[in-house]
């Protein structure tokens, strides 16, 4: 709606009608004219060209918003959790028994179509003694497996101890995701070869920064 | 300023001129509302434009490992060349440089997929608040990367350091320059690596600010033409047959909006 146009101009000697006066103040025609435009029809044309609008004029989250989930409590996963999973290669369609990791998942309402910047850190390890027996961590976005966001530990180590550089992993990952208005879920999941008795997840976090995209 | 209302006073002549003047006053103010006439917090997401000029994700999948070997390195990176701006986008050729674009390994990798480099259409994009509200302007360029380092060789070297960094290309001379503080080194030694693969995730991030750009250019006139993520390997006492292998990688580029208005 551009600048205001009044439908009626008054002249001396002409009887002032209630209707013509009211039409300048409030008129329900489409498009609205007169002062009716203050009812939600003001737009950029009504703002002075030299006005400098500051962030204080906007509501929190109008441009960008986000939050983080995190946890430090050790999470122990044992072989019986994973339905005797024995797949030794990544399989995007068959990951039975996968477990969402508490503290490694983010689920919330995003009030617009836009993009989400997802960042996470996670530490995990196992006591595998077979190079093909791995504890796998991967990211799912709204229940969709992310091909490029997956990592595994479990190398050929002649020890059953968790300790050691080669059987632990620290993953600081990030990605950019198109999101739609509504509830969105980003989560780190774990699945382990059934030959691994014990997988432990240590500290983890996942943060999501999202913003609206209009085009 | 906010609308200063002048109420009717007893004794005023309520004629057509007066009545039209009241509406005219309202029109004058509502046609050009000033900032002080807008209450704080008035605007929500429906009123606001995009905060990001660009939000770009580059990825390389793990369908194959990507080998970057000495035949394309030229020389092992050494601290004497710390902060150097070397490297090219030509596969298998680092020229005089000491680092290579991630996702663009040597021929031994046999990988022809995506590489960790993004080039904007000419003339590029400006960085810095001093450029006002020009459509290509941004506050800064946020860069974030992650690679899965599968292996490095030779495992027998006394010291091995894997390096990641970001570079940008300035329109003024077309030169790719390293963002010095983005360089990150991961140090190993042969006792740890042995004959095993490394299996390490390496993350790096940086912000290309106007100040950094101004070190070799002028934010008011020059453009950022491209950004990329580079990798290299340093092996003490070894300048031949060094090699590293990467798997999945990702690179994220954000350009938040800026204006000096």
Residues of A in contact with B35 (CB under 8 A): 48, 51-54, 57
Best of B1, B2, B5, B32 to disrupt the A interface (most A CBs within 10 Å) is B32
CB neighbours (10 Å) of residue B194?
10
Per-residue pLDDT band for B111 (boundaries 50, 70, 90) equals low
Report which DSSP code applies to A189: E
Give the chain A residue whose CA is nearest to the CA of B14: A12
pLDDT > 70: what percent of chain A? 87
Nearest to B102 by CA among B58, B49, B142: B58
A46 and B40: CB-CB below 8 Å?
A: no
Tokens standing for residue B247: 């798997």
* Count of A-B CB contacts under 8 Å: 149
pLDDT at B261: 46
B132, B60 contact by CB (below 8 A): no
A169 and B199: CB-CB below 8 Å?
A: yes
- Put simply, whether the predicted model's pTM sits higher than 0.80 gets the answer yes
A6 and B23: CB-CB below 8 Å?
A: yes
Per-residue pLDDT band for A129 (boundaries 50, 70, 90) equals confident
CA distance A85 to A99: 12
pLDDT at B236: 63
pLDDT of A187 above 60: yes
Q: What is the ipTM of this complex?
A: 0.82
Tell me how close the Cα of A80 comes to any Cα of chain B, in angstroms.
Answer: 26
With tokens 């479990």, the residue in question is: A154
pLDDT of B180 above 60: yes
A42 and B30: CB-CB below 8 Å?
A: yes
CA distance A133 to A129: 8
Among B11-20, B130-139, B147-156, the minimum mean pLDDT is found in B130-139
Give the chain B residue whose CA is nearest to the CA of A22: B23
Q: Among the residues of B9-151, which ranges form H helices?
A: 16-31, 70-73
**Kind plus residue range of the DSSP H or E element containing A205:** strand A198-212
pLDDT at B77: 45
Among A126-135, B57-66, B209-218, B232-241, the minimum mean pLDDT is found in B232-241
Tell me how close the Cα of B173 comes to any Cα of chain A, in angstroms.
Answer: 31
Calculate the CA dihedral of residues B126, B94, B147, B205 and round it to 10 degrees: -30
pLDDT of A5 above 80: yes
Residues B15-40 have pLDDT tens digits of: 999 999 989 999 999 999 998 889 99
DSSP B152-220: EE-TTSS-EEEEEEEEEEETTT--EEE-GGG-EEEEE-HHHHTTS---EEEEEEEEE-HHHHHTTS-TT
B77, B98 contact by CB (below 8 A): yes
pLDDT of A29 above 60: yes
B19 and A3: CB-CB below 8 Å?
A: no
Tokens standing for residue B152: 């490095």
Best of B50, B132, B191, B246 to disrupt the A interface (most A CBs within 10 Å) is B50
pLDDT of B95 above 70: no
CA distance B210 to B260: 14
pLDDT at A141: 95
pLDDT at B79: 38
Residues of B in contact with A213 (CB under 8 A): 50, 52, 55
Tell me how close the Cα of B255 comes to any Cα of chain A, in angstroms.
Answer: 13
Residues of A in contact with B135 (CB under 8 A): none
With tokens 């608040």, the residue in question is: B129
E-assigned strands of A79-197?
A: 99-110, 114-126, 135-141, 144-153, 168-179, 182-192
């Amino acid at each position: 709606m551009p600048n205001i146009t009044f439908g009626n101009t008054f002249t001396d000697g002409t009887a002032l009608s209630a209707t013509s006066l009211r039409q300048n103040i409030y008129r329900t025609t489409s498009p609205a004219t007169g002062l009716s435009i203050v009812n939600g029809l003001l737009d950029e044309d009504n703002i002075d060209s030299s006005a400098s609008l500051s962030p204080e004029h906007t509501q929190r989250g109008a441009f960008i918003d986000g939050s983080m989930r995190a946890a430090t409590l050790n999470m122990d996963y044992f072989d019986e959790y994973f339905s005797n999973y024995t797949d030794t290669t990544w399989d995007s369609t068959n990951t039975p028994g996968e477990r969402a990791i508490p503290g490694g998942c983010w689920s919330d309402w995003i009030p617009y179509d836009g993009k989400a910047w997802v960042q996470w850190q996670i530490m995990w390890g196992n006591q595998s003694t077979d190079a093909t027996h791995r504890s796998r961590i991967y990211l799912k976005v709204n229940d969709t497996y992310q091909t490029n966001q997956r990592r595994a530990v479990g190398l050929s180590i002649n020890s059953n101890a968790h300790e050691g550089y080669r059987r632990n992993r620290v993953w600081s990952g990030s990605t950019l995701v198109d999101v739609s208005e509504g509830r969105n879920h980003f989560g780190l999941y774990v699945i382990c070869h059934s030959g691994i008795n014990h997988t432990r997840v240590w500290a983890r976090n996942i943060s999501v920064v999202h913003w609206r995209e209009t085009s | 300023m906010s609308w200063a209302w002048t109420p009717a006073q007893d004794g005023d002549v309520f004629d057509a001129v007066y009545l039209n003047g009241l509406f005219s006053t309202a029109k004058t103010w509502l046609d050009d509302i000033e900032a002080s006439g807008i209450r704080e917090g008035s605007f929500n997401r429906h009123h606001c434009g995009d905060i990001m000029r660009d939000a770009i994700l580059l990825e390389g999948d793990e369908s194959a490992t990507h080998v970057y070997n000495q035949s394309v390195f030229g020389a092992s990176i050494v601290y004497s060349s710390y902060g150097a701006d070397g490297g090219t986008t030509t596969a298998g050729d680092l020229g005089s440089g000491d680092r290579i674009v991630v996702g663009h390994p040597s021929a031994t990798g046999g990988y022809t997929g995506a590489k960790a480099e993004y080039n904007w259409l000419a003339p590029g994009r400006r960085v810095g608040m001093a450029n006002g509200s020009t459509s290509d302007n941004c506050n800064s360029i946020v860069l974030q990367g992650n690679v899965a380092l599968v292996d490095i060789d030779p495992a027998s070297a006394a010291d091995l350091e894997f390096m990641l960094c970001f570079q940008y290309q300035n329109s003024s001379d077309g030169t790719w320059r390293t963002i010095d503080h983005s360089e990150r080194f991961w140090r190993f030694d042969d006792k740890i690596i042995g004959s095993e693969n490394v299996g390490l995730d390496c993350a790096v991030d940086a912000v290309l600010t106007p100040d950094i750009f101004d070190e070799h250019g002028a934010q008011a006139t020059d453009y950022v033409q491209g950004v990329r993520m580079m990798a290299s390997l340093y092996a003490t006492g070894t300048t031949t047959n060094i090699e590293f292998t990467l798997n999945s990688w990702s690179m994220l580029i954000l350009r938040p909006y800026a204006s000096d208005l």
